[in-house]
Amino acid sequence: MNESGQLVVGFDLDMTLIDTVPGFRDVLVALGDELGVEFPVEEMTSKLGPPLDILLAPYLPADQIAAAGERFRSLYPDHAITNVPAFAGAHDALAAVRKHAGRVVVVTGKYAANAQLHVDHVGFEIDHLEGWVWGVGKADVLMREGASIYVGDHVHDVEGALAAGVVSVSVLTGGCTRAELEDAGTHVILDDLSQFPAWLDGHLAGTSERRPQSLG
């Protein structure tokens, strides 16, 4: 709860709320066609989470990465919105926060304008979206918004939650394994967001312990 006593829950976007693999794949193909580069698309989409510049770095000269990133973001709306679905349970997870009169904050490493396109397309009801923040950088946003829980799929989401001093809830819908998330220090592991409403009810009722646990 924040200082006013209101529940605030932060959610990552890519591979937590939405399955961005199809869109990311199509943009990489389009970008590669323009640059004359055959990106290893399956490999690159197997562990989405780090910033785009880091993903592109092994395949492009350093002086081309910034421009390639800009072009990726400009190609994105035409190739990666309508083909990207919400994960099963995502809408129910957000509704679970609303049931407790809570606020929903999306904190993502994605370019904010493109993130908003996803939110609008799948019809998520949220209170605030913060883009282009990653890893421990998410902590400042979570603290500013008064979040007490952050839900993500990547070890860097765990880092952000722990740096903010909030409960880290991890889902296994991204590229990180259960062992990787446990080693990163997450407090709770869910198979997917369909398990989140029941967990949240228990957490707020005080019947879920804040310790590494798995509901999978």
Per DSSP, the residues of 95-137 read HHHHHTT-EEEEE-SS-HHHHHHHHHHHT---SEEE-S--GGG
Choice between 209 and 179, residue whose per-residue pLDDT is larger:
179
Q: What is the pLDDT of residues 152-192, one digit of tens each?
A: 999 999 999 999 999 999 999 998 999 999 999 999 999 99
Is it the case that residue 16 has pLDDT exceeding 60? yes
Per-residue CA distances from 60 to 32, 38, 54, 65, 74 (Å):
10, 11, 11, 6, 18
pLDDT of residue 210: 53
Q: What is the pLDDT of residues 144-154, one digit of tens each?
A: 999 999 999 99
Per-residue CA distances from 90 to 22, 82, 143, 206 (Å):
17, 17, 23, 23
User: Can you give the C-alpha Rg of the chain in angstroms?
Assistant: 17
Cβ contacts of 19 within 8 Å, gap of 6 or more: 84, 85, 86, 87, 173
Lowest mean pLDDT among 3-12, 18-27, 128-137, 167-176: 3-12
Q: What mean pLDDT value characterizes the chain?
A: 94
Whether residue 22 contacts residue 86, with contact meaning beta carbons closer than 8 Å, is answered with no
| 126: nearest Cα among 16, 3, 5, 4 | 16
Backbone angles phi, psi at 147, to 5 degrees: -70, 150
Task: Pinpoint the alpha helices (H) of the chain.
Answer: 21-35, 41-44, 52-56, 62-79, 90-99, 112-122, 138-145, 155-164, 178-184, 196-205
Residue 210's CB is within 10 A of a number of other CB atoms, namely 10
Rounded to 5°, the CA angle 159-161-165 comes to 115
Is it the case that residue 39 has pLDDT exceeding 90? yes
Instruction: Give the whole-number percent of the chain exceeding pLDDT 90.
Output: 89
Instruction: Give the whole-number percent of the chain exceeding pLDDT 70.
Output: 94
| 49: nearest Cα among 9, 76, 15 | 15
